Amino acid sequence: MGAMRIAYFDCFSGIAGDMILGALVGCGVDIDDLRQDLAGLVLDGFRIEHRTVRRGALGAEKVDVIVDEKGHPHRGLRDLREILEGSDLPAGVAEQADRVFERLVEAEANVHGVPADEVHLHDVGAVDAIVDVVGACAGLRRLGIDKVRCSPLNVGGGTVQSAHGELPVPAPATAYLLRGAPVYSRGPQVELVTPTGAALVATLSESFGPWPEMVLDAVGYGAGDHEFDGMANILRLAIGSHADSHVGSGTEGVGHAGPVSVIETNLDDITPQILGSVVQRLLEAGALDAYTSPIFMKKNRPGVQLTVLSPTEHVELLADLIFRETTTLGLRTFPVKRHELRRRHEGVDTPWGRVRVKVAELGDSVVSSTPEYEDCEAISRAHGVPLKQVIQAAASAYLNQKTATED
C-alpha cells in the first residue's frame, strides 16, 4: 500500500534551526548521515556536535553547529545562491534551501524598505544559519517526507538584541514571515521563534493547525539552548504516514482523501501579477489545488474564475487570504467528494544522482510513474544536463527497476 509521509512540527515552545536538527535526529536521522550531507557545502570552518540533554522533565537531542569563523559575514541572496550552486548536495536540497533564503530576503527587504538585491543578511547569513537551513532540508529528505505541516506557533515576547539594535518579539522579519500562520504568546518573555525557524516553516509547511490524521511512526524532541521554568524548551517533531487506502464508491484502489471543499470567486479587476501571486500563496497556505479559468462576466467583460480545492478545516483560513489579497467581494464554497489513487515514492539511480519517482496504483496495478520534478531540476542545474534528459533517464531507470523486481 502506498503511503504519504507527513512531518508535523509541534511548536509549543517555538522553533529554531538547531531545534529542527535535533528533532530530526530524534526521529531517526543518523547524525553521521547528516554530517555527510552537509559535507557537500562549500563552507569551511564548521562542525556538527550532537548530545542528548534534558529540558525540564524530558530528554531531547541537542545538535549544535560549531563555527570557527570569527564574526558574522553579511551575505546577500546572491552570495547564498553561489554557495548552494557550488555545493554537492543531495537532489532537491539546494533548491529547497534556496526557497527558504529567498523568503528570508523578501522579509528583510519588506521590513527595511529596501530592494531585495540590497539586503545583506546578518545572523541568518552566518555559517551556522546556512548549515541549519540546509541541514533541515537534507534531514527531511532523509526521512522521505512528502508533506510538512505545523502547529500554531508560540512566538514568546519581550525584546531581542539584533544587529539593528533592540527589537520587539517577534522580530519584524519573523512577524512578516508568519503572516497567515496562527501565533500566540505564552510562557517566558524571550524570542522563541527565530527568523531562521520562521522561514523554514513558512516555506516548507503546507498548512498550520492541529495534528493531522496519520499513523504515527516516530516522535523526536529537539532541544533549544536555554532552560525555562515551567516549560520544556523543546521542539516536538512527529513523523507519520497517511495511507491513501480508504475505499470509496466501491472501486478497489481508489482512495477517498477525506472532507474537502471548493472555494470559488469570479474576478474581472485584478492584474495577472497579483493573481499569480495569490495562487502561489494559496498553495503555500495549504490548498490542495488552486487554478484560474477564463470566463465572460456580466456586460460581456472577460474575467477569470479562481478555484481552490481546500481541506474543509482550512476553508476559513484560505477564504481570509483570498479576501485580503484579491479584489473580490464574495466567495462561493461547497463540499465535494474526492477520490485519489494510492501513491508512493521509489528512489532510482541516474548517472548524475538519485531521483524519487512518484508511483500511482489502482488495486494491485501501477497505472503511472512520474519522476519528481524538483529532484530532476536540481540535478539538471547541478550537472548542466538538459532537464528532459534527466527525466527520461529517471523514467527509464524506474522501468528497468520494476522489470527486474517482477522477474
Please report, rounded to a whole number, the percentage of residues in the chain having pLDDT higher than 90: 58
Q: Are residues 87 and 129 in the same domain?
A: yes
Q: Are residues 323 and 362 in the same domain?
A: no
Domain boundary among 243, 271, 286: 243
Q: 175: which residues sit within 8 A by CB, 6+ positions away? A: none
CA 55/CA 224 separation, integer angstroms: 8
Chain segment 92-104, per-residue pLDDT in tens: 899 999 999 988 8
Nearest residue to 214 via CA among 4, 385, 384, 362: 4
Q: Are residues 272 and 397 in the same domain?
A: no
Confirm if 90 and 138 have CB atoms less than 8 A apart.
Answer: yes
The count of structural domains within the chain is 3
Q: Are residues 14 and 117 in the same domain?
A: yes
pTM over 0.85: no
Please report, rounded to a whole number, the percentage of residues in the chain having pLDDT higher than 70: 92
Identify the domain containing residue 202 by its residue range.
3-243
Domain boundary among 284, 304, 337: 337
Asked if residue 343 has pLDDT above 90, the reply is no
Q: Are residues 397 and 310 in the same domain?
A: no
Reported confidence tier of residue 253, pLDDT bands at 50, 70, 90 = very low
Q: 404: which residues sit within 8 A by CB, 6+ positions away? A: none
Confirm if 221 and 12 have CB atoms less than 8 A apart.
Answer: no
- Comparison of pLDDT for 300 and 58, the residue scoring more: 58
In a domain, 135, yes or no: yes
Nearest residue to 1 via CA among 400, 397, 360: 360
Cell numbers for 373? 520534478
Q: Are residues 76 and 193 in the same domain?
A: yes
For the segment 216-239, the average pLDDT, to the nearest whole number, is 94
Of the listed ranges 48-62, 169-183, 246-260, the one predicted with least confidence: 246-260
CATH code where residue 320 lies: 3.30.70.1380
Reported confidence tier of residue 284, pLDDT bands at 50, 70, 90 = confident
Q: Are residues 322 and 348 in the same domain?
A: no
DSSP string, 84-133: HHTS---TTHHHHHHHHHHHHHHHHHHHHTS-GGG--BSGGGSHHHHHHH
Q: Are residues 215 and 177 in the same domain?
A: yes
Residue 188: how many other CB atoms lie within 10 Å: 20
For the segment 143-150, the average pLDDT, to the nearest whole number, is 92
In angstroms, the Cα distances linking 45 to 40, 85, 164, 183, 202 are: 13, 19, 26, 36, 29
Confirm if 235 and 72 have CB atoms less than 8 A apart.
Answer: no
In a domain, 400, yes or no: yes
Q: What is the per-residue pLDDT for 236?
A: 97
Let me know if 98 is exposed, middle or buried by CB neighbors in 10 A (0-12, 13-18, 19+): buried
In a domain, 248, yes or no: no
Asked if residue 179 has pLDDT above 70, the reply is yes
CATH code where residue 388 lies: 3.10.20.300
In a domain, 273, yes or no: yes
In a domain, 357, yes or no: yes
DSSP state of 299: G
Chain segment 25-79, per-residue pLDDT in tens: 999 999 999 999 999 999 888 999 999 999 988 999 999 999 886 655 678 888 8
Q: Are residues 155 and 44 in the same domain?
A: yes
In a domain, 249, yes or no: no
Q: Are residues 349 and 387 in the same domain?
A: yes
Cell numbers for 3? 503511503
Q: Are residues 314 and 284 in the same domain?
A: yes
Average pLDDT value for the chain: 87
In angstroms, the Cα distances linking 112 to 107, 121, 169, 242 are: 9, 12, 16, 42
In a domain, 51, yes or no: yes
Q: Are residues 64 and 179 in the same domain?
A: yes
Asked if residue 248 has pLDDT above 60, the reply is no
Asked if residue 280 has pLDDT above 60, the reply is yes
Reported confidence tier of residue 255, pLDDT bands at 50, 70, 90 = very low
Domain boundary among 308, 337, 366: 337
Of the listed ranges 9-23, 122-136, 145-159, 285-299, the one predicted with least confidence: 122-136
In a domain, 95, yes or no: yes
